[in-house]
Structure 1
Amino acid sequence: MSQNRGNRRNYHGRSGGRGGSGAGGGGGGRRGGRDGQNAGSGSSLDETNPIIQSFRGYARELDAKHDRHERIVKCSRDITIESKRIIFLLHTIDPRKNNDAKVCEEAKQRLENLFRNQFFIIAKELRGQDAYQYARAYTHGMQEFIEAYSFYEYSSGQDISHWQVVQEKLSYKHDATPPVKQESTNEPNDSTTAEVATTAEVAEGSDGQAEAESPPATTNESQATLESVCLLQPLDFVLGLGDLSGEIMRKCINGLGSGQVDSCFGHCRFMQDLYRGFLSVSSARSRDFTHKMNTLRQSLVKSENVCYNVTMRGGEAAKWGGGPSDEAFASFVGNSNFEAAEEDEGVYF
């Protein structure tokens, strides 16, 4: 019985697929006809349809946004690389070589170049746009720059600037540049493509890095003056200061190795004040802020351990640095053969 039912089902299925005389066959013919009509209509769309035109415009807007995002990310990477190089440069300051003025001047010039070039490009890209939509595109570069800028101010003996002071330096006034004409396969009324052409002014140099025109010092009265701002969020500024703690900790340890014992306590006090300020911020609901707090605490503990060792074993720490306190430590210990004993000492683990 079950075999006969299976044969009847197979028979009706084959007749429907062939468009036969049965009910299944008629249904198969109607489905085939509708599929043919849909295939024919999908090959050619009505471009004059307002819905089609609207979605074409949405696609162009999304493409323009993604292209702008990628250009900002590229500038952010250049800022990150240059900021790290400036930090490494500032770590080469050695009081024994008396090169602090030369190194700080070079670091200042390189920071000014970042203001004039990469940040100016980002400011022009953000003009007329919602800056908060692209904030995550350059947040890492901004934090690294704040770290380098604040480390330069600390190394040169200046006070750490307020975030509003840095924000004013990231505001530019420049002349309106005419839009660059580009060939496009889109419709002639493509306003979004023209807008992208005005902002895409990044030129590739011979070294593969982005080059841009610096904001002119004088403006022509016959041209309209535009104002572009690179947004600096307060959270990015605070996170950049959190990264500064790692550089101060490294400077503290290097000061102990070079014999500048007194500077270790100054670095430690600065980090304690910085950590106290971070503790006063209790309303920051940010995962990055919590991570920076943990890093700052670890750096502070390392600096305090250095100062503790200097205090408890002060003579030995000064002796390691090779400073002028070796003779005083030798007289305090009462060992007349201090230098000879130092030559015979070995390394014990």
Structure 2
Amino acid sequence: MKSIVYSRPGDPSVLELVERPVPEPGLGEVRVRVVVSGVNPTDWKSRAAAPNGLPFPEVTPNQDGSGVVDAVGEGVEGISVGDRVWTYLSAHERPTGTAQEFTVLPADRVVPLPDAASFDLGASLGVPAMTAHRALTVAEDGPRRLHPGALDGLVVLVTGGAGAVGHAAIQLARWAGATVVTTVSGPEKAELARAAGAQHVVNYREGDPAGVIRGIAPDGVDIVVDVAIIANADLIAKVIRPRAVVSIYANTGGNEVTLPLRAHMGLNTRFQFILLYTVGREALAAAAEDVTAAVRDGALPVGESAGLPLHRFALERTADAHAAVQDDVVGKVLIDVSPA
């Protein structure tokens, strides 16, 4: 089979196309013929930054993907050969992700893909949608699961609404009944956020964004899904209500943040840091189930008309796909691995 691998950390040039044997699933494992592989920032960061060396002699990247079950190992129930599926954390603690024609995964990382959903959508879920789910379900006064009506009466602020996680957060929050406000840096991203479903879009580079958000939510924001806490700490302090949660899923802009302590202490603000690798099995299983339900309801479309432009690359151009994500291309980067 064709596989993309790297054997040392570095820039995208370390990625190479090779031939490898088709792997066999073991106990509790499933083999998936990958149709589309999704690229996330975590994929290039894992490749580029490995100060203690790579965890395996050879690594195939990419956590997310979609495809068709090709073989099932002993002890697997509820998954059959021929099932259309989406995958998550495909390369976590394993040497082989989805940038190859076949991949073997633990059965609990393989999720049925609803019949009406495209493989493009399936490969776009994983990291973005599951991160967004976690961000929306950790509030002190909010739900632990998402479904229509779960966020009724709540106001969600999504900073960076044109990114992949922000896009999924807007869609999931709307599906669950929230009023969604998002901040963006310009008119093009504003259009994408509106296409995703945000009712209110605020350009944080113009005027008084905190005042505009307070005008929309006089009692304050309940949940913040935040991409850049270093830059947004002061704004967030001005717009949240008591006992709000600030869900932080990225360290955009650096590694240290200064918080207005008195303001947040008075508000009993909860800061929740989010990384899928360590959220635990229960949270992952809940996210996979709820995200699939949202897909079944048609609540998570992708593509430019839905606010998330798709950028396609062939498998042999995986290095270019990684470079595009590393260069902050707006939208979702997908790799076409095999025919549907």
Higher strand share: 2
TM-score, normalising length: structure 1: 0.20
TM-score by length of structure 2 reads 0.20
Return the structure number with greater relative CO, CA threshold 8 A, min gap 6: 2
Which has the greater radius of gyration?
A: 1
